[in-house]
Structure 1
Amino acid sequence: MKLAGILGALALASPALAAPDLATMGTAERAAFLKAFPKGGELHNHLGGGTPGELLLAWAIEDGLCVDVTELAIRTACAPGLKPAADVLNDEPLRSALMDSLSTRMPGHKGRSGHDQFFTAFSRRGALPKRQGDALAETLEGLARQNTFYAELMITPQFVASRALGARVGWRGDPAATRVALSEAGLEKLVPNVIADTDAMEARARAVMKCDTPQATPGCKVTVRYLFQAMRQGPPEQTMAQLQLGVAAIAADRRWVGLQLVAPEDAPDAVRNYDVHMRIVAEVTDQGRKAPAALHAGELTLKLVTPQTLSHHIGDAVRIAGARRIGHGIALPEEQGAHALAREMAAKGIAIEVNMISNQTILEIEPEDHPYAWFRKMGVPVVLSTDDSGITRSELSGDYALTVRNGATYADLKAAARNGIAFSFLPGEGLWLDPNTYRRPARACAGQIGRETPTGACAALIAASEKAREQWRHEHLLAKFEAEYVR
């Protein structure tokens, strides 16, 4: 490579010469700066918890749903004693109380802890299945407003059908035998239903956003992929049916890219069956070789579980299940052999999805006490994400802002944003040879990072790789942002 090309590549790959000091910015200045900052990818976002309560109420009114005024819950079926949702809109005390019930905006609501309010809110957030596309549109629009254009969203397709089949088959003594029995019972025949549901959801979202019309909204530009989430509560065979269906969906449809295990990690079922869940994931994914998994692990503190439970969940997710990413990971410093595990995760490129606002709300971990800085010090890749922004009443830029209170610099946030694509489950060669560090661009694109249009061999790389294509777009957005806000 010519010297000019090398120098150009180094300049484009290096942090801005006059990187801003986020710690000295006022709250308003930092908020505006981070709202505009291109945040790469959102990798930990439950679609079912991403919709603001106001929008859920509006849908309930349009769809003729009702509200349980005692439980402060939206119900999809009206019954005696329930109030039509339309009556709530003009009853301000009731409407406000309902918004409290559907979110964590009011600490101590109904005497619940943040943990209990968060996890019970899902059961009160009623919406018809057809509204999943509306929820998708809301999420994509929100990301576009924040200059963020890639997302992996967690969804639970064919929940009732898959778990019912798992219940009929039962547990056959170990994951291998149960996997065979589930297939023999026709589990994989549900895959066309998953694809049809995905098609319908996306068609509705595109209609809401007016995609492919002159009035198309910015959300149409967000690339979205899906993680197949399974509930870790209930009998293991039902959880396994969901996970096994997820692997089949990933093989059949490129929009489905990975697995997740969800629900409270401290729930009795989740704790009791944790080992078997890890072995199930290992069985159905062949330790990640057939399909990648991003597992919730270490979303725990000693207020929720025993020291023994706190000591091994992340390690088991990495070493037994073969997880490629860890959701939350708060308990990593409490794990047995924590330093060795962190070094192993750094060496293998196993990222942690950090959710500052969610962790503050559910686990009572203040940003200053979060292990984020230690993750970075140990070289563990970190991505920043929202978890359930509709319940926590937040946006992705807010999680970035809280990370500054943990000591994050602009360079740290820039790396986290890039990690949001580099550690995605998108296929293809990446634009960087050193993810999490970002000093060595792919040889074909050296000297071109940040441009609007690639040329030559770089254009060929971008055309052949979904991951490089999203990275290229992000780098161009980043270059434009820095030209305006940083340099």
Structure 2
Amino acid sequence: MTRIITLFCFFIAQISFSQTAENYLEKIRNNEALLTAFFQQMPKGGDLHHHFSGSVYAEPLLERAIAEDFYLNLESMNVSKTKPVNGNWKTFSSLKNEGKLAFYEQQVMQTWSAKDYNGSVPSDDLFFDSFQKFEPTIQGHFAEGMLELKKRALAENVSYIETQLSTIPCDMNVADLTDFNSKLRQAASQKDEKAVLKLLDELYKSIQKKDAKKYAADFNNNFIAKLHKDLKIDDDRFTMRYQNFVLRFMDPVDLFKNMTIAFISANDSKLVAGVNIVSPEHGENSMKDYWLHMLMFKYCHSKFPDVKYTLHAGELTLGLVQPEDLTWHINDAIHVAGANRIGHGVDIAYEANSYDLLRYMAKNNIPIEINLTSNEFILKVKENRHPFTLYKEFNVPIVISTDDAGILRTNMTEQYVLLAKRYPDVSYATIKQYVYNSINYSFIQDAAVKKQLVKDLDGRFKTFEAKFSKN
């Protein structure tokens, strides 16, 4: 009886602490500095929509380029380890000797990230073009980036990151399969799903014969597992898992080859949490082949039913594409591809039968990954133009993410500050639920690991909420 009374008192105390935190949040709702201090300390669970290369800040990448004396293209701000044949390229050491290094450092920072963005180029172009500009500084330095991200996560009370780390290297020769490009696109143009799936089956068998499993095993064992173990990424305060991803702009054969290997990798490794598809959704091939890509996911799911996948879908807005192209991407990602989560989902209000789609997402527990800073910078969608409230009204599970914190010059804390400030009807209890969603809807394969992260979150919130008992 004494134990029951003790537990009851503990439960009441926790409710009281949570209510006190709720009261304090309401008191500071319109003060950004106070909100920042509040959310900096609040446990934030996981960051599920996270691109590794876009999350590393530009400063260490630039420092590395200077230290290793890369070549810099003085017009585009691309860097290269070796001097390309065409273009105006100079080493960082020569720029230093000429007294021009400080000027170009500033140009690089403004081209590799949103720092001091002034609208001189379209924001979506700056964002998507930046990756190729700094990419040479990432290669061979994944370890430094992973440790930077872990350190930053620990500092702002983030306990889990599910990052898209790297494409899977593959030199498989598929020159003999290029006829499938036109065949697949022809069948897709006629919306002949049966014909597309039959062609994908033939293509899959050919790719398997070219030892696709070897590339997945090499990636899992000699890259993912090695880095993860050598760096001691997982500990009692932090956990990281990885999403494989494929590039939308590729022709069908190359994309499907990479997708097949990505699914094999995710199926065979507990560290690889799932699969994704990236690159600008409004790009030429992305738009032309979108339905075909969704069928590729459907096909791969039939081969690897245990592999989870989240899809960038609806990262579009009016004016970026034709109005009719806003009506079907999220629908197809869910109803054709069978996505387990949706990333961005900004065009949901324009989707055909959007209310039915939202109800379906809610009923089937298909979360939406909300990226407030990203959607504002890339798409110019924010506040009441952003569909956050629409998802919330229909009880779609919500997780809050950063997307590309390095390029966007943001972090997880700022995402929650924006959420609380822009949407005053979102209570502390609801925000806390979003935090738990980020663990419960993660793709972590090991149930014991997920359970421990939830337990750890319980303890973190207990400590956090106790701070407000005297306020």
TM-score, scaled relative to structure 1: 0.84
Moved more, 374-383 or 77-86: 77-86
1:49-448 aligned within 5 A: 49-79=54-84, 81-86=88-93, 91-108=101-118, 111-125=120-134, 126-161=136-171, 164-166=172-174, 168-170=176-178, 171=180, 173=184, 174-195=199-220, 196-202=222-228, 205-206=231-232, 221-286=237-302, 289-404=305-420, 405-407=422-424, 408-427=426-445
Moved more, 324-333 or 21-30: 21-30
Residue 294 of structure 2 contacts residue 333 of structure 2 at CA under 8 Å; is this kept in 1? yes
Partner Cα distance (1:6, 1:175) in 2: 58
Moved more, 347-356 or 184-193: 184-193
Partner Cα distance (1:10, 1:351) in 2: 31
Q: In 2 relative to 1, CA 259–71 (structure 1 residues): closer, same or farther, beyond 3 Å?
A: same
Deviation at 1:105, TM superposition (A): 2.3
Residue 167 of structure 1 contacts residue 238 of structure 1 at CA under 8 Å; is this kept in 2? no
Deviation at 1:156, TM superposition (A): 2.8
Instruction: Report the AA paired with residue 432 of structure 2.
Output: K
Residue 51 of structure 1 contacts residue 389 of structure 1 at CA under 8 Å; is this kept in 2? yes
Find 1:48's aligned residue among 53, 66, 72.
53
Q: Does 1:37 align with 2:45?
A: no
Deviation at 1:395, TM superposition (A): 0.7
Q: In 2 relative to 1, CA 41–329 (structure 1 residues): closer, same or farther, beyond 3 Å?
A: same
> Residues 121-157 of structure 1: CA distance to partner in whole angstroms, max 9, x if unpaired?
1111131521111111111111111101111001233
Partner Cα distance (1:388, 1:248) in 2: 26
Instruction: Report the AA paired with residue 411 of structure 1.
Output: A
Q: In 2 relative to 1, CA 272–11 (structure 1 residues): closer, same or farther, beyond 3 Å?
A: farther
SS in 2 for 1:228: strand
Residue 54 of structure 2 contacts residue 404 of structure 2 at CA under 8 Å; is this kept in 1? yes
Residue 258 of structure 1 contacts residue 293 of structure 1 at CA under 8 Å; is this kept in 2? yes
SS in 1 for 2:141: helix
Q: Does 1:469 align with 2:452?
A: yes
Deviation at 1:13, TM superposition (A): 7.5
Partner Cα distance (2:439, 2:57) in 1: 26
Residue 44 of structure 1 contacts residue 386 of structure 1 at CA under 8 Å; is this kept in 2? yes
Residue 295 of structure 1 contacts residue 317 of structure 1 at CA under 8 Å; is this kept in 2? yes
Q: Does 1:482 align with 2:457?
A: no
SS in 2 for 1:130: coil
> Residues 235-293 of structure 1: CA distance to partner in whole angstroms, max 9, x if unpaired?
11211112111111112211001010000001010011011100000111229733111
> Residues 369-397 of structure 1: CA distance to partner in whole angstroms, max 9, x if unpaired?
21112211111011111111110011111
SS in 2 for 1:284: helix
Partner Cα distance (1:25, 1:288) in 2: 48
Residue 265 of structure 1 contacts residue 300 of structure 1 at CA under 8 Å; is this kept in 2? yes
TM-score, scaled relative to structure 2: 0.87
Residue 384 of structure 1 contacts residue 420 of structure 1 at CA under 8 Å; is this kept in 2? yes
Deviation at 1:313, TM superposition (A): 0.7
User: Aligned-residue CA RMSD in angstroms?
Assistant: 2.5
> Residues 216-249 of structure 1: CA distance to partner in whole angstroms, max 9, x if unpaired?
xx98842000000110112112111121111111
SS in 2 for 1:304: coil
Q: Which runs of 5+ in 1 are unaligned?
A: 212-217, 430-464
Q: In 2 relative to 1, CA 135–204 (structure 1 residues): closer, same or farther, beyond 3 Å?
A: farther
**Residue in structure 1 matched with residue 25 of structure 2 by the alignment:** 21
Instruction: Report the AA paired with residue 67 of structure 2.
Output: E
Residue 263 of structure 2 contacts residue 304 of structure 2 at CA under 8 Å; is this kept in 1? no
Partner Cα distance (1:258, 1:416) in 2: 21
Partner Cα distance (1:381, 1:83) in 2: 50
SS in 2 for 1:106: coil
Q: Which runs of 5+ in 2 are unaligned?
A: 185-198
Q: In 2 relative to 1, CA 358–302 (structure 1 residues): closer, same or farther, beyond 3 Å?
A: same
Partner Cα distance (1:425, 1:7) in 2: 35
Aligned residues: 439
Partner Cα distance (2:138, 2:296) in 1: 31
